[in-house]
Amino acid sequence: MHHEKPLSAWGRLYVSVVVGLGAATIAYSAYQLHARPIGWNWFILALLTLLSGSATVKLPSVPATISISETFVFTSVLLFGPAAGTLTVTLDVLAISLWLARRGHPIYRIAFNVFALPASLWVGAHVFYQLAGVQPLALSTESVQISSLLLPLIVFTVTYFLLNSWLIAVAIAFETRLRPFLIWKNNFAWLSLNYFGGASVAALLLVRTRAPGRGAQGMEGTGREPRRGAEGLLQPLQAQRRRAQREVHGEDGEGARQGLTSNPG
């Protein structure tokens, strides 16, 4: 294992910039939810994300695990928008980082872990909505074809994965003085499966709960129906969590959110 070295001035600047950008996206997301309330259904997804954050399923043929919580993060973005998704992933990564703090990790690592992932998700989620040209599905009564969202969802997933993994790889490179590409290739490439797995399950859940001839969640008519439709969508998500956790192989659950927990070796 390579031993970390004290962060250089450039390394400290890099971490500070990422932390600042992440803090700005979290603050802006919180302001958006305060200025434009969307109800509390998104918070149910946030709680499910927290509860499933330690549940991972080890893939049998590749060196990777699938994080169950990633499904809820993608679903939160699709149903409730970038702001709700950003706060959802913030709560998840904050819980993981508090656990890391008890293990004695440096403060700058904890701060980086807390703020890098929400920044990555915020950017990816806004890319999705710019390409898709739709409103958050649980908040709209317009009819939306799920198939039209597949390409934007793929771009969202790729953007989210590449931003997060490269932000972490560069930070580790400042610690270890190794080349960022080698760190990324050896430690993060397989984690794309975690992101695509979460996005795929989220899309399948939306398809499964969509009623024929109606909106993306089977919602139309009065403004109260989107809330009832969103509550209906949360039921299969809860069932998905219970099924997935029965398949857990006893991993500790850091998965794609491992951040600066250890050096590559």
According to the model, what pLDDT value does residue 59 have? 45
Give average pLDDT by consecutive 10-residue segment, the chain, 265 residues.
68 95 97 90 82 56 56 91 94 80 78 92 97 89 82 96 93 89 87 87 77 41 41 47 43 46 45
pLDDT of residue 10: 92
233 token code pair: 């969508």
Provide the pLDDT for residue 154: 95
* Domains of the chain, each with CATH number or no CATH: 9-257 (1.10.1760.20)
In whole angstroms, give the CA distance from residue 180 to residue 76: 31
Q: What does the DSSP assignment read for 102-119?
A: HTT--HHHHHHHHHHHHH
Residue 62 CB neighbour total at 10 angstroms: 9
pLDDT computed for residue 72 by the predictor: 87
CA angle, residues 150, 22, 255, in degrees to nearest 5? 60
Question: Rounded to 5 degrees, what angle do the CA atoms 209, 88, 14 make?
Answer: 135
